[in-house]
Structure 1
Amino acid sequence: MQRERRKSQVLRDLIDEFLRTGAAVGSKALAERSGAGASSSTIRSVMSELTREGLLEQPHTSAGRIPTEHALRLYIRDLLELETLSDRERGRIARTLDEVLSERDEPLLGAARLLSSLSDQAGVLLTQGIEQVCLKRIELVRVGAHRVLVILISVHETIYERLLHVKEDISSDELQRYTNFLNRFADGSPLGELRARLENERVRMGRMAGLLVERAVQLATRAMEGLPAAGELHVEGQARIVEHEDLLGNARMLRDLLEILDDGRTISDLLARVARGEGVQVLLGADAGLESVPLSLVAAPCRALDQQLVGTLGVLGPTRMNYSRVIPLVSCLAALAGQRFAPASSNFATNQEEN
């Protein structure tokens, strides 16, 4: 038992030192800093055992060791001592976020920017996919001859607008009747489900549907189909990764990193994976499909007060990051952004002619 405790202590101290300096750690240096209370020779023996177990590796001929990906996962899961954010610091973060919101009125994007600044890494955000947005109201507004503005309002007050051009002019009174009909179905259901229910109602009524139902469903469906189905990825402060000392000297890694950032699909897929879980999750290396670049993603689902998912917020940075601080920062900002969720309108305009 004492041997296992000593191994855990040595592994924790070595990874703490590696994350701080980025250099291989030797037994002598570790003996001077370690809380294991052991001599350099004892620590050297423990390090050799940890190396045989696949938790440490020797990057070159020096006596120093660095942790493997497996060791980092073990450290994050079982050994990491998280920094506790004081009430004063939480209050300062909340006030700063409120200042950002007063300027931009975009809580999730503002939280990603603030997270990048506080962590000195890239802040990443995946907004909720439109199919999962829960709608509470639909408005059809005449804005001119042959033009109808369709306004979709979510339960969290997000406003999606789409301008439709129609062949036959529709009066404001007629559009109000369409609106009344559509709002019988806008009861907080996800958009994808609402769209299916409207189509089912049209089919169910068949010939009895009449022009009102046909046109109302057609306009609503056209508006919904014009919105982006997938969530939108935002990366704030990506220069903080590109300029990190662990990557600057490696042209291949920099090229692969820029491809990952430019393409966005890998990061979006990882954030979508996080959204299906609960709490802060840490993905790194092979687990995250990031074998070519030593990157880690620390992210959490962002939920409103009613627990509806509104996005996924996190930090993307080199594997060698200060997890003890980054993890509580992500947790804090994901919660704060959800509590303040009142995003600005999302506008999508088209110039389509009605078939």
Structure 2
Amino acid sequence: MYKMTQPKLYSRGKTLWVRFSYDGEVIKRSLNLESTKANKILANTQIIPQMIIKVHSGEFFNIEKQKMPTVDEYMKVSFELHKGNRSYSTSYLYDKNYNRHVKPVFGDMKLDKVTSSDITRWQNELREKKRLKKGSILRVRSCLNVMFEDAIENDIIQINPIKKAKKLRETENPLVKRVKLKPFNLMEIQSILNVLKDSDKNLIATFFYTGMRAGEVIGLKWEYVDFNRKTIAVREQMVSGVQKEILKTTKSQRTVPIINTLLPYLKHQFELTGDCEYVFLTSRSKKHYHSAGKIREQIWVKALKEAKVPYRNLHQTRGTFISTLISNGEDINYVSKIAGHENVKVTLERYSEYIPSKNDNFGDCFIA
């Protein structure tokens, strides 16, 4: 016969909880009652006695099993809880990562049955079999971590198994190294633009000379381009064919200057699409780009090959813009602002190596 200790009542925050052990296992449950004198009397005189009866009859654990949701069931709840404070691109990424990497492994498991060992083994598999780098695994894991925290907050479980999982170590495996920025030089930029024509040339020039993210460029509308003030207001982005106002960070909504080098390209583009809503349209369908993938496939890869410029991904146009400004002595606070970084610390962490010495006689102050 299983042994059960007498349930003890205690407060956790402003809520009443009960704790007891059953067959050596410590069980903690929220009573979902505010910690008041009246509720304590109610718990001790009615709720706990009924709980003891249900534990011995087995009804308590049957009810627990029925109530405990699966990971897949509660992930839907978690996504809904955070829908209002996540950008569309973040929600899309969470959903994609969950369906690809989390659901096949944990989807059918009850929340309270997922252990820290399960998480550790899963992380190892993502790294060893799927060759995901540490940053990617952490991003995949984050949706699961948030879901467990939501479940704790709503008194469904008591422990987040991710907190006790083995930490991911850094690796020197070249397959999982982060792509290092290799800025294009001015000659390479010109070579790329020289092999392009019309709208394609104007599009790639905008990437190089604004530092805007891909979703921001393909989602750019003419209403946000001010030729008089020579500015572009970044207010929206295109993600998987959906136009959204919420951008990556709180600083993403910003104003980017139209530098003199870019101006003729945008004016030419206005001649081509000025009577349309979007600045850039596909050459085939004359509709806005669905995603940056088509630009890479149809324009970018071919242009670099024809220009005989070593391949870098399209996102490196952004890094080129930022690093070029910084290396030429532009104010890093202003560069950070027009780049849409959360703060200048982010800019410094990524681009500090491009900060030039402002004084050719640096160090001479120590000469006696």
TM-score range, shorter chain: under 0.3
Query: Normalising to structure 1: TM-score of the pair?
Result: 0.20
Greater relative CO, 1 or 2 (CA 8 Å, sep 6+): 1
Q: TM-score, normalised by structure 2?
A: 0.20
